Amino acid sequence: MPKRTDITSILIIGSGPIVIGQACEFDYSGTQACRVLREEGYRIILVNSNPATIMTDPDLADATYVEPITPHFVEKIIEKERPDVILPTMGGQTALNTAVALAESGVLEKYGVELIGAKLEAIKKAEDRELFQRAMDRIGLATARGGFVRSRDEAVKIAAAIGFPIIIRPSFTLGGTGGGIAYNFEEFEEKVEHGLSSSPIHEVLIEESVIGWKEYELEVMRDLKDNVVIICSIENFDPMGVHTGDSITVAPAQTLSDKEYQHMRDAARKVIREIGVETGGSNIQFAVNPDNGRMIVIEMNPRVSRSSALASKATGFPIAKMAAKLAVGYTLDEIPNDITKQTPASFEPTIDYCVVKIPRWDFEKFKGVDDTLGVQMKSVGEVMAIGRTFKESLQKALRSLEQGYGGLGADGKDLVDVRSLSADQLPEWKKRVVDRLRMPKPLNVLYLRYALQLGLTIEDLFEITKVDRWFLHNLKQIVDFEEELRTYSLS
């Protein structure tokens, strides 16, 4: 299908200020969308309150509004500019929430503005966890057990049925704000109250814990001809229980068998079709039980996300740019791949290298704050590294962090030189390292190295952390090789 000629102007909504959970990845996606749609000849109207973005450069749109991204102000812009359509999938949760509000209050209908990229129904199906669960039931995919509540009493009832630990997720918040894990009743009550007040609709999801399961994300695109392509698979090094934004992640997925991967791929295609995202990119998260392989769907974002920025950089496939083209009617087979020029965008990317992303935290600025990682994102940035193997990429990523690390330790910044410990110091250090690894904390990967140096086995560490054995084996190889390197000398 060629591009739409029935529309001439497009309103793109940005994501506003940089906050934890919504950072400059949406400047990246929004900038791509502005550029590509302008090249297609459309008049671009943009709203974003963040002056530090490239997308708000006056050269990138025909009319750039540095104004509040609220239904009230966006309505004023619509009234003044009369765009034909709104593209709300480039500006994170902020843009999506604003578009939903405008649709539901009748503003879009009043001015005859259409939503492109994702329709209201699809957004709601993906974002409203109750509708999402029902949709997953319909296509026979499992989700975590639990339910939605709007009061403490309802929450307690569900909690009694599923047992601790329990995940608390407020509806319609970004980066998991206000969410948490409760291990006992007291924590549960506190977190439900906080969750209810964080949710704009005062609703939280009380859910069975799948902590310790393996976590995956697939970046999926679909067009109007119902072509579906999987752009990238991403595996979390840290198991379920740590927000993806706070996890070390690896692309492509490393520890799935081909059969498991195909199963997940099929599920992703079913999900995007059932939710009904017709044109654009979505991010679908899965959890896999390491003991029996049971797979459940965690959630879906019907828009470009932090992970799609990562997937774009990891594969070279510009998801936001393609999503913008699909939104105006092109199909995947009509768009040439940027990189090869001769293959179409419907070819799924294949990568012959390994990408590692590591988050960057800034806890030293917030004294007294708990640095345990959980379902609410706490990192403020991230780095990515590309290498031929996981080992190479991991070490490159660690030295990219600019926190003084030269790689996986052995850089003069080690907390302890395990080789110099005396026999009676070893048990104390073992205990210290194991205690640390029991809770997910920033850069626990460095402690995994100490643990291996202290003689803990891969099985021990798997039991403590649930980090997949494959990753632990790789760490062990680095540790062993470090030992070998020590037997050499420069002179």
Partner 1 sequence: MGSKPKHKPVAKPVSEQILRRAKEYGFSDRQLAHLWRSTESTVRQLRLNLGVVPVFKTVDTCAAEFEAFTPYHYSTYERENESHVSSRKKVMILGGGPNRIGQGIEFDYCCVHGVMALKEEGVEALMVNCNPETVSTDYDVVDKLYFEPLTLEDVLNICDHEQPYGVIISFGGQTPLKLAKPLEKHGVRILGTSPEGIDLAEDRERFGSLLQQLGIPHPEFGTAYSVDDAVRAAESIGFPVLVRPSYVLGGRAMEICYNREAVQTYMKKAVDVSPEHPVLIDRFLEDAFEFDVDAVCDGKDVLIGGVMEHIEEAGIHSGDSSCVIPPYMISAANIEIIKRHAVKLAHALNVIGLINIQFAMKDDVVYVLEVNPRASRTVPFVSKATGIPLAKIAAKVMIGRTLEDLGVKDFDFRTVKHISVKESVFPFSKFPKAPIFLGPEMRSTGEVMGISPEFGGAVAKAQISAGNALPVEGRLFISVNNSDKNDITLKIVRDYVRLGFSIVATEGTARFLRENGIESDRVFKVNEGRPNVVDLVKNGEIQVVINTPLGEESRYDEYAIGWAAIQHKIPFMTTLSASAAAVRAIEAQRSESLQVRSLQEYQKEPL
Site for partner 1 in 163-222 (CB under 8 A): 175, 177-178, 194, 197-198
Q: Cα(450)–Cα(160) distance, rounded to whole angstroms?
A: 40
Q: Exposed, middle or buried, 323 (CB in 10 Å: 0-12/13-18/19+)?
A: buried
Q: Does residue 130 bind partner 1 (CB under 8 A)?
A: no
For 9, 53, 370, 467, the CA distances from 56, given in Å and listed in that order, are 17, 6, 36, 41
Q: Does residue 323 bind partner 1 (CB under 8 A)?
A: no
The closest alpha carbon to 356, from 332, 403, 392, 321, belongs to 392
Q: Cα(398)–Cα(402) distance, rounded to whole angstroms?
A: 8
| The one among 351, 416, 443, 464 contacting partner 1 by CB under 8 A | 351
Q: Taking CB under 8 A as the criterion, which residues in 385-424 touch partner 1?
A: 385-389, 391-397, 399-402, 406-412, 418-419
Tell me if 80 sits within 8 A of 70, measured CB to CB. no
Nearer to partner 1 among residue 156 and residue 383 (C-beta): 383
Sole window of 163-171, 281-289, 370-378, 428-436 interacting with partner 1 (rule: CB under 8 A) = 370-378
Q: Would you put residue 146 in left (φ > 0), alpha (ψ -120 to 50) or beta?
A: left
Cβ burial 165-194 (10 Å sphere, 16+ → b, else e): bbbbbbbbbbbbbbbbbbeeeebbeebbeb
Q: Does residue 137 bind partner 1 (CB under 8 A)?
A: no
Sole window of 108-116, 126-134, 147-155, 369-377 interacting with partner 1 (rule: CB under 8 A) = 369-377
Rounded to a whole number of angstroms, the minimum distance from the CB of residue 267 to partner 1 is 24
Q: Cα(34)–Cα(43) distance, rounded to whole angstroms?
A: 10
Rounded to a whole number of angstroms, the minimum distance from the CB of residue 122 to partner 1 is 25
DSSP 3-state assignment of 303?
coil
Residues in the interface with partner 1 (CB under 8 A) total 122
Q: Roughly what angle, to the nearest 10 degrees, separates helices 469-485 and 390-400?
A: 80
Nearer to partner 1 among residue 96 and residue 314 (C-beta): 314
3-state per-residue secondary structure call for 224-292? CCCCEEEEEEEEECCCCCCCHHHCCEEECCCCCCHHHHHHHHHHHHHHHHHHCCCCEEEEEEEEECCCC
Q: Does residue 306 bind partner 1 (CB under 8 A)?
A: yes
Tokens 């640095």 belong to: 371
Rounded to a whole number of angstroms, the minimum distance from the CB of residue 331 to partner 1 is 18
Q: Does residue 73 bind partner 1 (CB under 8 A)?
A: yes
Rounded to a whole number of angstroms, the minimum distance from the CB of residue 141 to partner 1 is 29
Q: Does residue 317 bind partner 1 (CB under 8 A)?
A: yes
Q: Cα(95)–Cα(300) distance, rounded to whole angstroms?
A: 16
Nearer to partner 1 among residue 104 and residue 483 (C-beta): 483
Q: Taking CB under 8 A as the criterion, which residues in 252-281 touch partner 1?
A: none
Q: Does residue 64 bind partner 1 (CB under 8 A)?
A: yes
Q: Cα(213)–Cα(301) distance, rounded to whole angstroms?
A: 20
Rounded to a whole number of angstroms, the minimum distance from the CB of residue 365 to partner 1 is 5
Nearer to partner 1 among residue 66 and residue 224 (C-beta): 66
The closest alpha carbon to 229, from 118, 384, 333, 91, belongs to 333
Nearer to partner 1 among residue 267 and residue 408 (C-beta): 408
Q: Does residue 451 bind partner 1 (CB under 8 A)?
A: no
Sole window of 5-13, 46-54, 143-151, 441-449 interacting with partner 1 (rule: CB under 8 A) = 46-54
Rounded to a whole number of angstroms, the minimum distance from the CB of residue 412 to partner 1 is 5
Q: Does residue 313 bind partner 1 (CB under 8 A)?
A: yes
| The one among 12, 13, 37, 69 contacting partner 1 by CB under 8 A | 69
| The one among 11, 13, 35, 86 contacting partner 1 by CB under 8 A | 35
Q: Taking CB under 8 A as the criterion, which residues in 7-26 touch partner 1?
A: 16-21, 23-25
Nearer to partner 1 among residue 66 and residue 464 (C-beta): 66
For 216, 235, 236, 246, the CA distances from 287, given in Å and listed in that order, are 6, 10, 10, 16
Nearer to partner 1 among residue 337 and residue 465 (C-beta): 337
Q: Does residue 353 bind partner 1 (CB under 8 A)?
A: yes
Phi and psi at 386, nearest 5°, equal: -120, 135
Nearer to partner 1 among residue 300 and residue 309 (C-beta): 309
The pairing of beta strand 280-288 with beta strand 114-115: unpaired
Q: Cα(13)–Cα(87) distance, rounded to whole angstroms?
A: 7
Rounded to a whole number of angstroms, the minimum distance from the CB of residue 158 to partner 1 is 23
Q: Does residue 344 bind partner 1 (CB under 8 A)?
A: no
Rounded to a whole number of angstroms, the minimum distance from the CB of residue 275 to partner 1 is 25
| The one among 31, 97, 236, 244 contacting partner 1 by CB under 8 A | 31
Q: Cα(56)–Cα(46) distance, rounded to whole angstroms?
A: 8
H-helix or E-strand spanning residue 222:
strand 214-222
Nearer to partner 1 among residue 144 and residue 354 (C-beta): 354
DSSP 3-state assignment of 165?
coil
